[in-house]
Amino acid sequence: MIDMILEIAPVFITYYLVALGHGFFEKSGVLNLAIDGLFIVAASVAFVGAVYTLNPWVGVLSAAVITALFGVFLAYVTTKFPVSHGAVGLSLMFLGYGIGLIFGIPANFYANSQRIKSADYTFRITPDVEVMMFIIPIIIGFLLLYILNYTKLGASIRAAGENPHAAAALGVDVLRTRLIAGAIGYALIGVGGAFFTLAWRSGWDPKIYLLGYGWLAFAISLSAGRHPLVTAINAGIFATLVKYQYLIQTTTGISTEVAKMLPFIAAIIAMVIFNVTPLRRILAPPASLGKIYYKEEKTV
């Protein structure tokens, strides 16, 4: 039983960190529809970094840096210009699929031609490592909760998400706040995506862009009201569902395709439950999420 729980760890760390980073960024008021594409960027960049250096940590670090740059870009464009958050986010999603594949494919050829085995560049998963993969993300979750609720930065992030105009009037630099939230949020998404390639899948496959796992992380975060600790519970549930979809399949006799469908159906149901129950009131989404922020005072 404990073995079965521990085996969920690589899936859990992936989903939890991605959902955590996404929720943290959205708290600042930027609607993040780029998540699935940039998840693929993270997974691919991590693979490239790890394969060429044979060190998984280089992979994790490069994924974090590259996706953080995308996060900063998304935050800058949506805050500085009166553009649609949805349109920019979806564009970055498509661009992310393309860039992820274009960088991943040559590295995949390189790995095959050099006969590099996945054990050479991925994390060695032992029970100790699995325990750490539960503990460290939860510590990060507590840390983000602390930042959001007890620091000046957290107050600025929440203010920028609730009402950026009022926040700016009270002296909050909305652009700076969102840039920081974008960098931290997307660095976490990057690390999560890196663990997808380097711990969960132990390898890279050009078809990963078809999986839609970034959208599951989106649903995990949304249905947890973007609360760092509630997100952990949701991530745990989805990680179990995805990890054991094949076990569910063999024990219940349903087909592979139904098993693959289940997490998506569950994601839609989770979002509906969140929205129709008092949960939405208790863990209310940021009031200005996705709204165009344009200050008339910019006219000089």
* Rounded CA separation 142/131 (Å): 17
The CA R_g of the chain, rounded to the nearest whole Å, is: 19
Q: Restricting to residues 153-212, name those near other proteins by CB under 8 A.
A: 206-207, 209-210, 212
CB of 2 to other proteins, least distance (A): 32
CB of 276 to other proteins, least distance (A): 5
If we measure between CA atoms, which residue out of 294, 280, 11 comes closest to residue 137?
11
Is 198 within 8 Å of 59 (Cβ atoms)? yes
Written as six digits, the tokens of 204 are 């890279």
145 vs 283, beta carbon nearer other proteins: 283
CB of 71 to other proteins, least distance (A): 15
Long-range contacts of 91-95 (CB under 8 A, 24+ apart): 91/34, 92/34, 92/37, 92/38, 93/33, 93/34, 93/35, 93/36, 93/37, 93/38, 94/37, 95/37
The minimum distance between CB 280 and other proteins, in angstroms, equals 8
Q: How far is the CB of 13 from other proteins (least distance, A)?
A: 22
Q: Is the dihedral of CA 254, 258, 262, 265 positive or negative?
A: negative
Question: Is residue 246 involved in binding other proteins (CB under 8 A)?
Answer: no
User: What's the angle, vertex CA 17, arms to CA 85 and CA 86, rounded to 5?
Assistant: 10
Among 54, 264, 282, 287, binds other proteins (CB under 8 A): 264
Q: Which is nearer to other proteins, 138 or 241 (CB)?
A: 241
Distance of CA 171 to CAs 80, 161, 267, Å? 17, 15, 38
**Contact present, 95 and 40 (Cβ < 8 Å):** no
Mark residues 23-42: x for contact with other proteins by CB under 8 A, - for none.
Answer: ----------x--xx-----
The residue within the footprint of other proteins, chosen from 4, 54, 57, 102 (CB under 8 A), is 102
Q: How far apart are the C-alpha atoms of 174 and 152, rounded to whole Å?
A: 13
* Binding to other proteins in span 203-232, by CB under 8 A: 206-207, 209-210, 212, 215, 218-219, 222
Residue count, binding to other proteins (CB under 8 A): 57
Is the separation of the CB atoms in 63 and 1 below 8 Å? no
Q: Which amino acid is at 77?
A: V
40 token code pair: 């693929």
Which one of 4-12, 149-157, 237-245, 252-260 is the stretch in contact with other proteins (CB under 8 A)?
Answer: 252-260
User: Rounded to the nearest whole angstrom, what is the least distance from the CB of residue 232 to other proteins in the complex?
Assistant: 20
The footprint of other proteins on residues 41-100 (CB under 8 A) is 77, 80-84, 86-88, 90-99
Residues in contact with other proteins by the rule CB under 8 A? 33, 36-37, 77, 80-84, 86-88, 90-99, 101-103, 105-106, 108-109, 206-207, 209-210, 212, 215, 218-219, 222, 255-258, 260-261, 264-265, 267-268, 271-272, 275-276, 294, 296, 298-300
